[in-house]
């Protein structure tokens, strides 16, 4: 396998499937099956999942809610998604641990870096919930931060599109897809890969990012086996 330890970043919206909000159990089961394929190959897996299918702090703030309060609500939404994914993974026979940046000891361990690494070494899948535990930071930033802390080989960002394009492929049929691109070129071209804080943190720590279509069966396994799927952002 090309990667020994990965940090998989999933958006909350991805869990909606065909629904308008919430969690689609069919999509959840599909993701669990895709994750099982690489788990069975011995890849150490950590996961960060967003909460946009339940609540977005930014959206709450635009409706007059206090931004900090809204962001904490968003963090709790990521914990709900983490619990749902944990259940789906365990249904497939995998051992998991949910760790959260906010203390919710009845349902999850508090995030402790050394403990997380030990779980990974033992073959358990670790799901990180509640973002960084701080308002004003996205789950993209949380994903890169945790990836750096646990010494992941790569950030795999599963989205609905199959990579990075020079313009929006849903609006421009002739948009050009990049197979690989440097951090510097992403910034020069003003491409939207991750929010600026997450992207800069990844660049400074030389942690590559692969953006790929998580909804296409087998893509996750192919990436871990070294196939050129999606777009790799690297030094």
Give pLDDT, residue 62: 77
Which CATH number is associated with domain 5-233?
Answer: 3.40.1160.10
How many CA atoms lie within 13 Å of 162's alpha carbon, on the beta-carbon side?
Answer: 11
Is 205 labelled as part of a ligand binding site?
A: no
Is 55 labelled as part of a ligand binding site?
A: no
Q: Count of CB atoms within 10 A of residue 175's CB?
A: 13
Is 9 labelled as part of a ligand binding site?
A: yes
Could you read off the pLDDT of 57-110 as tens digits, one per residue?
777 777 888 999 999 999 999 999 999 999 999 999 999 999 999 999 999 999
Q: What are phi and psi of 53, to 5 degrees?
A: -75, -15
131 alpha-carbon distance from chain centroid: 11
SS3 192: coil
Degrees (nearest 5) of the Cα angle 112, 116, 121?
A: 150
> What's this model's pTM, rounded to 2 decimal places?
0.95
Q: Are 176 and 187 in contact (CB under 8 A)?
A: no
| β-bridge partners, 99 | 109, 128
Is 147 labelled as part of a ligand binding site?
A: no
Give pLDDT, residue 42: 98
Is 134 labelled as part of a ligand binding site?
A: yes
Residues of the chain falling short of pLDDT 50: none
Is 11 labelled as part of a ligand binding site?
A: yes
Is 212 labelled as part of a ligand binding site?
A: no
Q: Are 214 and 47 in contact (CB under 8 A)?
A: no
Is 111 labelled as part of a ligand binding site?
A: no
């Amino acid at each position: 396998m090309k990667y020994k330890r990965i940090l998989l970043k999933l958006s909350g919206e991805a869990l909606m499937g065909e629904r308008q909000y919430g969690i689609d159990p069919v999509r959840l089961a599909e993701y669990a099956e895709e994750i099982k394929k690489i788990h069975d190959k011995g890849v150490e897996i950590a996961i960060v999942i967003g909460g946009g299918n339940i609540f977005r702090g930014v959206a709450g703030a635009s409706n007059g809610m206090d931004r900090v309060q809204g962001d904490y609500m968003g963090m709790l939404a990521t914990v709900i998604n983490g619990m749902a994914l944990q259940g789906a993974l365990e249904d497939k026979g995998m051992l998991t641990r949910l760790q959260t940046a906010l203390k919710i000891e009845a349902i999850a361990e508090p995030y402790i870096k050394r403990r997380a690494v030990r779980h990974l070494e033992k073959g358990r899948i670790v799901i990180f919930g509640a973002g960084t535990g701080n308002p004003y930071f996205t789950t993209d930033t949380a994903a890169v931060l945790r990836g750096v802390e646990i010494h992941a080989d790569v950030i795999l960002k599963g989205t609905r599109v199959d990579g990075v394009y020079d313009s929006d492929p849903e609006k421009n049929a002739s948009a050009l897809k990049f197979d690989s691109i440097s951090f510097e070129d992403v910034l020069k071209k003003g491409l939207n890969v991750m929010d600026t804080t997450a992207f800069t943190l990844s660049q400074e720590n030389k942690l590559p990012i692969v953006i790929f279509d998580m909804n296409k069966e087998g893509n996750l396994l192919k990436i871990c086996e070294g196939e050129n799927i999606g777009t790799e952002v690297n030094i």
